[in-house]
Structure 1
Amino acid sequence: MRRQLMWMLVLRGGAALLFGVIALVWPAVTVVALALLFGAYALLDGVALLVSAVRRKGDQAHRLAHAAAGVLGIAAGVFTIAWPGVTALGLVVLAGAWSVITGVAELWAAVRFRRELHHEWALFAAGGASVLAGLLLWARPEVGAITIAQIIGVYALLSGGLLLTAARHLHGTTPAARLTHHARHA
Structure 2
Amino acid sequence: MNPSVNTVQRSWGALLVRGVLAIIFGIIVLAIPGIALLALIIVFGAYALIDGVMAVVAAIQERDVLPRWKWLLVEGVVSIILGIVAFVWPGETALILLYIVAAWAIITGVIEVGAAFTTRNWMIGVAGLLSIIFGILLYARPGAGLLSLLWLLGVYAIVFGILFIVHAFQMRSRSNLMSENNRMGGFNA
Tell me what 1:183 maps to: none
Runs of 4+ residues deviating >3 angstroms: 175-180
Shift of 1:121: 2.6
Q: Give unmatched runs, 5+ long, in structure 2.
A: 1-6, 182-188
Sort the Cα spacing of 1:39 and 1:2 in 2 relative to 1 into closer, same or farther, 3 A: same
Tell me what 2:88 maps to: 82
Sort the Cα spacing of 1:58 and 1:178 in 2 relative to 1 into closer, same or farther, 3 A: closer
Q: How much is the aligned-residue C-alpha RMSD, in angstroms?
A: 2.1
Shift of 1:62: 2.4
Tell me what 1:117 maps to: none
Equivalent position SS for 1:165: helix
Q: What amino acid sits opposite 2:97 in the alignment?
A: L
Sort the Cα spacing of 1:92 and 1:146 in 2 relative to 1 into closer, same or farther, 3 A: same
> Is 1:53 matched up with 2:59?
yes
Q: What is the aligned-residue identity percentage?
A: 35
Normalised by the length of structure 1, the TM-score is: 0.86
Q: What amino acid sits opposite 1:70 in the alignment?
A: G
C-alpha contact 1:53 1:64 (8 A) present in aligned 2: yes
Shift of 1:148: 0.7
> Is 1:12 matched up with 2:13?
no
Distance (whole Å) between structure 1 residues aligned to residue 67 and residue 97 of structure 2: 30
Q: Give unmatched runs, 5+ long, in structure 1.
A: 115-119, 181-185
How many matched pairs? 176
Q: Which has the larger radius of gyration?
A: 2
Shift of 1:39: 0.5
Describe the superposition over 1:119-162 as per-residue Cα deviations: whole angstroms up to 9, x where unpaired: x2322211111111111111111122111111110000000000
Shift of 1:113: 1.0
Distance (whole Å) between structure 2 residues aligned to residue 95 and residue 83 of structure 1: 13
Sort the Cα spacing of 1:59 and 1:175 in 2 relative to 1 into closer, same or farther, 3 A: closer
Sort the Cα spacing of 1:173 and 1:154 in 2 relative to 1 into closer, same or farther, 3 A: same
Normalised by the length of structure 2, the TM-score is: 0.85
Tell me what 2:171 maps to: 170
Shift of 1:178: 8.3
Tell me what 1:69 maps to: 75
Tell me what 1:31 maps to: 37
Shift of 1:59: 6.3
Q: What amino acid sits opposite 1:151 in the alignment?
A: L
Distance (whole Å) between structure 2 residues aligned to residue 122 and residue 149 of structure 1: 24
Distance (whole Å) between structure 1 residues aligned to residue 36 and residue 176 of structure 2: 48
